[in-house]
A and B are shown apart, each in its own frame.
Chain A
Amino acid sequence: MSKALNIIKDRALTYRQKVINLAREAENSINVLNINKEVQEYRDEGIICDLFEGNAPYRPRYIVPDYEKFMENGSEFLGLNPPKNIWEAVNNLLILYKHVPSITSFPVYIGNIDYLLEPFINDEEEAYKAIKIFLTHIDRTITDSFCHGNIGPEETKAGRLILRAEKELQNSIPNITLKYSTATSDDFALEAINTALVIAKPSFANHEMFKEEFGEKYGIVSCYNGLPIGGGSYTLVRLNLAGLAKKAKDEEDFLNNVLPDAVKRMISYIDERVRFLVDESGFFESSFLVSEGLICRDNFTAMFGMFGLAECVNHFINSERQVDRFGHSVRANDLGHTIISSLEKEVNKYNNPYCKFSEGKYLLHAQVGIDTDYCISPGCRIPIGEEPEIHEHIIQAARFHKFFPSGVGDIFNFDSTVKNNPQYILDIIKGAFSHKMRYFSLYSTDCDVIRITGYLVKRSEMEKLDSGKQVLRDTVILGLGAVKNSRILERKVRKND
């Protein structure tokens, strides 16, 4: 029990962080999953990793409640009537958020918050006060940056007020995505860009692309994961392509033997996690979210994550010359494309009847990495420090985006002088989406809030933690680790010159 005792005595953890860590410790003290030798071998080597989901899945990793339904019906279990005004609306939502489980125990999706609040906006200044209280409450109580709200695609009064409040409050939580499409006005998109240049959010999601795959009812949750509303994802397990590459004799061996075998091991592990959660944990038989129809098992799927494509490709390319490497040479980029196509093909060979929403298939996810990854790039991203010019970067990255409905994205760091010309960025986003880029994040060199890999953290809070002080938000710990191990602060600066 020394680990539990260490948590109890840790002076850098808040009370709440201790409770969550102790719960994790308790879960991990039992072994209920049937994990075969091959899977365990890859887990031990860090090639298969479940991202700290715990030993006994008792709640889905990503829950995407149907908040529209909640606003219409209220909740019997929570004893809430449908809201009649803006104050009741934000209060009801804030109450429900406390009851949406996840791996971190904080909700990863809080709804299309502009559309949810729009019907209650009469007096705009009163609504602005309510929205500021709403957002501040979220930032101080859902102390985890994987909490994600959506706005758009259409401009609303509520959407404008949310952007205005975010700019004023400068909170790192919640993460926000603008679902962007031709239905989004340029004016609203420019306001979103102006906001992102101050607080690194919202990011832009290619609404047309997501709509084709999920229909209108999808949410962007956690880092940037596209998932169906009224459902979500049971689990996310990731495959380390950088580590896996070293097991192969050559490219051919990798594509023909090592990769298919690794996919088989991954699927067996994901299947087992889904089995325990659905068949044994009793979650779907006991949660009021299910009985009140806010989520339904039929809308769930599971995510097959990958990361380290760049290092995997560069392992086979075996050249230190920048022009030959991933992100730069045609050969390296094509090899990356071949690997991801093969991965998709292999994953689609399997079927899990509990993933009804995705017709038995697991959805691919370009995982953004964790704080302890050392020099392995997120998903299919080009390594920091090796980024090409932005137009080449976008065209290269966009080739991979179509494979990952449940999440992929790139981050661009703009020089602060760009604030004078937000149209420059809107032109880039329009171009990127016409090239089928799925998800575009931006921030500016002088923001305190910055995007680490998918989530947001304040530089000032990382400095505080680094000096041994407590911080309210748990993701600051992850951010600091990523900054130290993955050169997050050295992203190429993009200028309009």
Chain B
Amino acid sequence: MSVLHNPETINICNNCAACIKSCPYNALNKNYDKVIWNKNACRNCDKCLKVCPSNSSPKTRAMSVEDVVREINKVKAFISGITVSGGECTLQHEFVTALFKEVKKMGLTTFLDTNGFIPLWDKKELICVMDMAMIDVKSYDLKEHIWLTGKGNKNVLENVRYLSSIKKLYEVRTVIVPEILDNYYNVDKINKLIVSLNQDIRYKIIKYRPLGVRTELLESCVPSDEMMNELLKIANKNGCKNVIVV
């Protein structure tokens, strides 16, 4: 089981209905074999997510590319582009490719927010309609990465190199989790990798915040400003020109 944030985005709901009783607002019901979520009744208390035995969420609805485009059209005048995130959006790369094709026609930019686990270098059709990507590099150390996510980081680092080589890497991010990860090592190594590729790529160092996280599995705290400043100094010293701390 992953200890990472937003565990409800890992699996698709299997309609087991375990969540229905947990809802204090009667926003969940079963219709035939399906769990039905009533968006208007929902108050986003997230009790359903806490009781879900399969890392999933009942608060979803199926949308076609046309449905998403209709939503984008409503805000089109007020944005310069869209970013697709997740969950992990590259798990649905065919959908994302179809969506990006339509969005490009609208004159908007297309950004991808990914954990970098799925290889992108062989998704030529997607890459063609994607303007830029942001990648999470959670850990530079293979073992630590496996411990944290259940997967290795080889593809992640390869994606970083690949996207940089085609000038489509907008940002790399690392979340700082005190007591749990080797944060100084990670920031230093990941940052050196970026600088070796292109020192103008933005590197974002993100404070861990225990929101949407299974805190029983991850005992950490919000990193101090001092710690974040020290990490910023490391990145600056490495020659990275565009570092931000959030």
A and B: interacting chains: yes
Binding site for B on A (CB under 8 A): 390-392, 394, 417, 420, 423, 427-428, 430-432, 434-435
The reply to whether A427 and B79 contact each other, CB–CB distance below 8 Å, is: yes
The reply to whether B244 and A434 contact each other, CB–CB distance below 8 Å, is: no
Extra 11 A-B pairs, beta carbons < 8 Å, given A420-B244, A427-B79, A434-B77: A391-B75, A391-B77, A392-B74, A394-B78, A420-B246, A423-B80, A428-B78, A430-B78, A431-B76, A431-B78, A431-B79
* A434 to B75 Cα, complex, angstroms: 13
The reply to whether A435 and B246 contact each other, CB–CB distance below 8 Å, is: no
The reply to whether A431 and B244 contact each other, CB–CB distance below 8 Å, is: no
Asked if A391 meets B78 with Cβ closer than 8 Å, knowing A420-B244, A420-B246, the reply is: yes
The reply to whether B244 and A390 contact each other, CB–CB distance below 8 Å, is: no
Given the complex, which residues of A lie within 8 Å of B74, measured CB to CB? 391-392
* A332 to B191 Cα, complex, angstroms: 55
The SS class assigned to the B binding surface is: helix
CB distance from B226 to the nearest CB of A (A): 21
The SS class assigned to the A binding surface is: helix
Given the complex, which residues of B lie within 8 Å of A431, measured CB to CB? 76-79
* A435 to B77 Cα, complex, angstroms: 8
The reply to whether A390 and B78 contact each other, CB–CB distance below 8 Å, is: yes
The reply to whether B78 and A427 contact each other, CB–CB distance below 8 Å, is: yes
* A394 to B74 Cα, complex, angstroms: 12
12 A–B contact pairs at CB < 8 A?
A: A391-B75, A391-B78, A392-B74, A394-B78, A420-B244, A423-B80, A427-B78, A428-B78, A430-B77, A431-B78, A431-B79, A432-B77
Most chain A beta-carbon contacts within 10 A, residue among B74, B75, B76, B246: B75
* A427 to B74 Cα, complex, angstroms: 14
Given the complex, which residues of B lie within 8 Å of A417, measured CB to CB? 246
Given the complex, which residues of A lie within 8 Å of B244, measured CB to CB? 420
CB distance from A383 to the nearest CB of B (A): 21
* A248 to B246 Cα, complex, angstroms: 55
Task: State which residues 197-246 of B face A: CB under 8 Å.
Answer: 244, 246
Give A389's nearest chain B residue, CB to CB. Answer: B75
CB distance from B193 to the nearest CB of A (A): 23
* A354 to B66 Cα, complex, angstroms: 57
* A391 to B75 Cα, complex, angstroms: 6
Per-residue CB contact flags for chain B residues 75-93 toward chain A (1 = under 8 Å, else 0) read 1111110000000000000
* A304 to B148 Cα, complex, angstroms: 66
Most chain B beta-carbon contacts within 10 A, residue among A423, A431, A434, A435: A431
Closest 7 CB pairs of A and B: A431-B78, A431-B77, A391-B75, A428-B78, A427-B80, A391-B78, A427-B79
Given the complex, which residues of A lie within 8 Å of B80, measured CB to CB? 423, 427
Given the complex, which residues of B lie within 8 Å of A390, measured CB to CB? 78
Given the complex, which residues of A lie within 8 Å of B78, measured CB to CB? 390-391, 394, 427-428, 430-432
Given the complex, which residues of B lie within 8 Å of A434, measured CB to CB? 77
* A431 to B78 Cα, complex, angstroms: 4
Given the complex, which residues of A lie within 8 Å of B79, measured CB to CB? 427, 431
